[in-house]
Structure formats: structure tokens, C-alpha cells
Amino acid sequence: MKIKKKIIKKWNNISYMYTNGYLKTLPESFVNNISPVFVPRKIKLIIKDIIADILRSWRRTVISDSKVWFLVLTQNNVDALKKIQEDVPNSIFVSFYRFRSKVNVKVSYYYLNRRFLYNIIYPIKWLVYLTENKKKALRYFDLLFTVNGTYEESVRLLKKSKPKAIVFTNDHLIIARSLLLAANDLGIKTYYVQHASVSAHFPPLEFTYALLDGKDALLKYKKSGPVKSQVQLVGMTKFDDYIDQVNNNNKVETLGIAFNMGDQIDDVKKCIEKIKSEHSDLKIIARPHPAEKRNLALLNNVTLSKPSVESAFDFIKSIDCLISGDSSIHLEAVLLNVFACYYNFTKSKRFDFYGYVENGLLKHYKTIEDLNIELGKLKIFKPNVQSKSNFYNAAIGSEFYGKSTIKISKFIQDTIKS
């Protein structure tokens, strides 16, 4: 009975983000990459996982003992942690090896190379999970296959490498949650550095220390469940480099349009064309999501920002007003005193995912006509909006304005010593 409860508890903890309603808010194209509805697609993902596990089983993890780990699973993670890591002595970047995902810093990879053995007993553990979680077991059996064995292998990895502490900037991916759970059970200090806006769908805070951007993140995590971490509100590290580039223009001359994977390219094009018909004097720059892989030829009548070479802040500092749907880029815009407008290019069941409209950070525009009316006003006068972001970024108006990175690295060093 104890073993059964442990399996169910661990699997629910590790898969929390995806099995508690979050996937229902995403477009089908996103869901298909995580846990598709159709069984043949699920089987295909499982086969890919099995092949990857077998290929990784031949690799050997070599990581020096007693280092402070900075876990980076994506390039965004690297960008969020790089300057902090540089200030923390005896620290290294660590990442789980995935064949198509690389980062542009020196990193020590780990492989969980015995996980393929757990694939053999997955059906038995899945049946145990099924007894008390029938709906989740049937809907997410492909996702749970990915969960299976990651905790046990993470425990083995940490016992071998003995990290002094682990710094995370992702709290919901399966590989990150497995490592977090293993570290907590082994008494290893864990730190969470927030790198983007969060929602109430995110898992409850279970790190030793949680270094959050501001009050908004803390309130949302409290909605997720009990906060087990010691929390510090430290501001947004990536904003530090841009405090002298705040937009001081008093009227809008350049408009930015940021669209997501859930937005249809044709809908984005129609929006741009209608804005151009009313405001031909405005310069327009469109920015796709960093994961965008679709053909953007339809947008050949507008300047395109390239996420692969231009950060979100670099894009924002070149515009006076931003139009976007559900995206954390809104907050980055307001931080730089760029006027932000919430508008869904494509009809979506998801609305105000980050709570920006609800909390007064920006306004929702239901139609393109409403947007055009607002743009007409903004071309005459653009108000200052940066102060609205204090709820999301504790550094705004504080004594550590522009010094969040220093504050975080000092806190990590002090608490590791203690």
C-alpha cells in the first residue's frame, strides 16, 4: 500500500503542470507536442522516448563533485541565469541531454542512462496509478511514460555527483520537477529564480528558496497550493540591462505586433492590413514566437523581428506601442514604458492567462476598430505606464532598481554558506 501511494504521489507531483487543467488552455498544435488526444500520436511519442532512452543509455555522465548546479533546459533558461551563475563561485551549468535541444554555453550534460530499464516495468506502475487516477491514466498515459523512472534516476545522479545546491529557473517541466523532488528528498538546497510570468496553473512552490519577480507571482503560487519555500521578492534580472533604455517618447510612431503559435498567420496579416489602412504613417514591426516554425511569407509587407538574434527587450526598445494576445512580452513592454494592448488575433478559449488585464497592467481591445481608435489617441499622446509594473517587478521604485542580479547572486552565496 505504501509503494502504491508513493508512485501515485510522485507521478502527480512531477506531471502537475500538465494534468491539472493547463493543457485545456492551449491550442491543439501545442497540446499535440505534449500529450495529443489521439492514441496513434501518443504511441508515436512513446516510441520516440524509448529510442532516445536507449541511445542515452550508452552515454556516461561526468560531473565534478560538490558544485553549485544551474539547471538550464532551454536557451531562455541560460539567458535568465547566466549573469547570476558568473557571480556564484564553484558553480556550473548542467542540462539533461536531449538530441535536438542545445544551449550556447559550456554545459555539463547528464543522461539518466538507466531510465530505459524503467520502461520495461511501466505497464505495471501505470496499472497501479490507474486504480486511483483513472481519467488521468487514460488521457495522459504517454505523458506518464515520460515521468516513469525520472525521479529514481535523478536520485541516483545526485547521490553520485553530490551537488552543493541546485538553481532552477523552470519549475514545471517533467525533467526539472523530477530533479527537484529528488534533491528535496536528499536534503540538497534548491533555489528557484523566476524567468517569466507565471499563472495559477503552475505547481506549488517546493524549493528551499523561491526568488520571485514580485507580488503577482507570489499570489498566483499561493493559489496553486501551500508555499513551502522561503520567498524573496527580488525583481526581474533580465530587466537590469535595460534600465537606461526606458521609452520616453510622448507619442507612438512605431508599433510592435507580437504573435504566438496559437495565432493564425492570416489573422495577424489581416490585423496589420487594417491598421495600415487607418494609420499609414506608423512603422510596424512584427515579432513571431521564438518557437515559430511556420512559413511567414504572408507577412512580407512588414518588418520582421528575429527572436533567434534579437531578445524580447531589444525588440521592445525599438517600438512605442505593443499589440499582442496571451504573452509575457506585455510585461516586458510596460517595464520599458511601452504602451501595451491586449488583443487576440485569432479567437481563443484562453483569455488573460497571466491576469494582466484583470490587474490593470493593460487594457483589452475586442476589435481591430477599437485598436485603431486607441492608436489614433496614442499618436497624439502616449502616457507613462512603467509604474503599473511594480506589482510584477518588485525592483520598480525600490533601492535595488536595476540590481536584481546582484541581489540574487548575493542571496544564493550567503545562504549556501549558512
CB 271 within 8 A of CB 257: yes
CB 216 within 8 A of CB 236: no
CB-CB neighbours of 203 under 10 Å = 21
**369 burial via Cβ count (<10 Å: 0-12, 13-18, 19+):** exposed
What pLDDT, on a 0 to 100 scale, did the predictor assign at position 103?
79
Which domains, and CATH codes, for the chain?
A: 1-60+111-148 (no CATH), 62-110+163-236+393-418 (3.40.50), 242-390 (3.40.50.2000)
Number of helices and strands in the chain (H, E)? 17, 13
What pLDDT, on a 0 to 100 scale, did the predictor assign at position 132?
92
**291 burial via Cβ count (<10 Å: 0-12, 13-18, 19+):** exposed
What does pLDDT average to over the chain?
92
Amino acid at 285: I
> Which three three-digit cell numbers place residue 334?
510596460
Using alpha carbons, select from 235, 190, 218, 214 the residue that is nearest to residue 407: 235
Adjacent-strand bridge partners of 95? 109
pTM for the model stands at 0.85
What pLDDT, on a 0 to 100 scale, did the predictor assign at position 363?
95
What pLDDT, on a 0 to 100 scale, did the predictor assign at position 2?
82
pLDDT band at 29 (very low <50, low <70, confident <90, very high): confident
| Per-residue pLDDT at 361 exceeds 80 | yes
Question: Residue 175 and residue 182: Cα distance in Å, rounded?
Answer: 11
CB-CB neighbours of 358 under 10 Å = 10
Share of the chain above pLDDT 90, in %: 73
What pLDDT, on a 0 to 100 scale, did the predictor assign at position 380?
97
CB 245 within 8 A of CB 317: yes
| Per-residue pLDDT at 209 exceeds 90 | yes
pLDDT band at 309 (very low <50, low <70, confident <90, very high): confident
Mean pLDDT to the nearest integer, 276-285 = 95
Q: How far is C-alpha 29 from the geometric centre of its chain's CA atoms?
A: 17
Radius of gyration of the chain (CA): 22
Question: Residue 354 and residue 330: Cα distance in Å, rounded?
Answer: 10
Half-sphere exposure of 214 (CA within 13 A, CB side): 21
CB 265 within 8 A of CB 336: no
DSSP alpha helix (H) spans, 61-186:
75-87, 115-120, 122-130, 134-139, 141-147, 150-161, 174-186
| Per-residue pLDDT at 142 exceeds 90 | yes
Mean pLDDT to the nearest integer, 235-245 = 90
Question: Residue 233 and residue 228: Cα distance in Å, rounded?
Answer: 15
pLDDT band at 191 (very low <50, low <70, confident <90, very high): very high
Mean pLDDT to the nearest integer, 213-236 = 94
Residues in the chain: 418
| Cα–Cα separations (whole angstroms), residue 74 to 103, 185, 350, 409 | 6, 25, 25, 21
Using alpha carbons, select from 200, 202, 286, 194 the residue that is nearest to residue 239: 194
The DSSP element (H or E) to which 33 belongs, if any, is helix 28-34
| Per-residue pLDDT at 27 exceeds 90 | no
Mean pLDDT to the nearest integer, 382-405 = 93
What pLDDT, on a 0 to 100 scale, did the predictor assign at position 354?
87
> b vs e for 82-95, b when ≥16 Cβ sit within 10 Å of the residue's Cβ?
bbbbeebeebbbbb
pLDDT band at 158 (very low <50, low <70, confident <90, very high): very high
Mean pLDDT to the nearest integer, 126-147 = 94
The dihedral through the CA atoms of 94, 403, 240, 396 has a sign that is positive
> Which three three-digit cell numbers place residue 38?
489521439
What pLDDT, on a 0 to 100 scale, did the predictor assign at position 292?
84
CA dihedral 90→96→101→103, nearest 10 degrees, is 0
Mean pLDDT to the nearest integer, 59-69 = 91
| Per-residue pLDDT at 418 exceeds 80 | no
Query: Which residues, 6+ apart, have CB-to-CB distance to 294 below 8 Å?
Result: 265
| Per-residue pLDDT at 102 exceeds 80 | no
Amino acid at 319: I
pLDDT band at 261 (very low <50, low <70, confident <90, very high): confident
What pLDDT, on a 0 to 100 scale, did the predictor assign at position 271?
95
pLDDT band at 30 (very low <50, low <70, confident <90, very high): confident
Mean pLDDT to the nearest integer, 338-363 = 90
| Cα–Cα separations (whole angstroms), residue 89 to 70, 82, 84, 94, 210 | 12, 13, 10, 15, 20
| Cα–Cα separations (whole angstroms), residue 121 to 124, 154, 161, 356 | 6, 18, 26, 45
